[in-house]
Chains A and B, each alone.
Chain A
Amino acid sequence: MLGVEADTDTGRSALGEIGNIMVSSYVGALATMTGFELDLRPPESTRDMLGAVVASVLAAHSDAHELALVLDSELEVAGEACTLSFMLLPTPAGVAELLQRIGLGD
């Protein structure tokens, strides 16, 4: 990844920045699609077992989530294939609104 080892301070910082850019892009696209105004708080990043990371995020926002929106993407970066998954956890109130705005509501 950019010739930097992921497990160094520089690597972690780069990972955070790339994550921030990617998330901003996805959120921006979502905002355009839905007409929502979406504000981003400062990003945080971590690198660990998938289950540990996802479970910890879910536990911290425990009142909210029964629905997750997952976008799996395949990118090509400088000739190399790269996959990423973007997971959005809307609040219960937000779900109906979101689905309606992207044409999946009842």
Chain B
Amino acid sequence: MGELVASASAGDVLLCVGLGSCIGLALVSRHGRACGLAHIVLPDSGGREGDRPAKFADRAVSALIGALGHHGARTESLEAILVGGAQMFSMSTGMEIGARNEAAVRAELHRAGIPVTATATAGGVGRTVRVHVATGNVTVREAGSNEVTLR
């Protein structure tokens, strides 16, 4: 949770297991091989420093873009895939964190000029996302279901 990773190595598969209300943000470059994945927990850092780089949406997106920049990927080449943002408990108040996370991530992506090309979000189930660096494919699996390719 709150971690991010970027890679351009063909053998790598980036993974977030068990995304509930968290958002797994995958950024994939249309040119070249660089891919990144961030596990975002909350929408807003409120200016707080010192937490994990991808914990808050308002910091995670720029941090992930930066990590991809280290692998030579330009922001203009990136597209985003969002996974997660579910509401795990159906009757809760104050637990719309999932929807707020998705909205915050989308807002940050819009600010950065990165299009969202696929999503597997909302609903009430947990999801696992894999980013296959060799192909740029992004796959999602819900508990008890088959793997689905989003990109």
Contacts and interface: CB of A to CB of B under 8 A. Distances in A.
Interface of A: 44-46, 48-53, 55-60, 62
Q: Interface residues of B toward A: which range? A: 20 to 34
A92 to B, nearest CB: 15
Interface of B: 1, 17-22, 41-42, 86, 88-92, 94-95, 97-98, 101, 124-128, 143
Given A44-B89, A48-B143, A62 B42 contact: yes
Contacts of B42: 59, 62
Nearest to A51: B18
**Which 5 pairs show the lowest CB-CB distances between chains A and B?**
A51-B18, A52-B126, A52-B20, A56-B20, A49-B126
Contacts, number: 73
Interface centre among B18, B88, B90, B128 (most CB of A within 10 A): B88
26 contacts: A46-B89, A46-B90, A48-B126, A48-B143, A49-B126, A51-B20, A51-B126, A52-B86, A53-B18, A53-B126, A55-B22, A56-B20, A56-B21, A56-B22, A56-B86, A56-B88, A57-B88, A58-B1, A58-B41, A59-B20, A59-B22, A59-B41, A60-B94, A60-B95, A62-B41, A62-B42
Nearest to B126: A52
B89 A52 contact: no
Given A59-B22, A60-B95, A60-B97, A52 B41 contact: no
Contact of A55 (B20, B124, B125, B143): B20
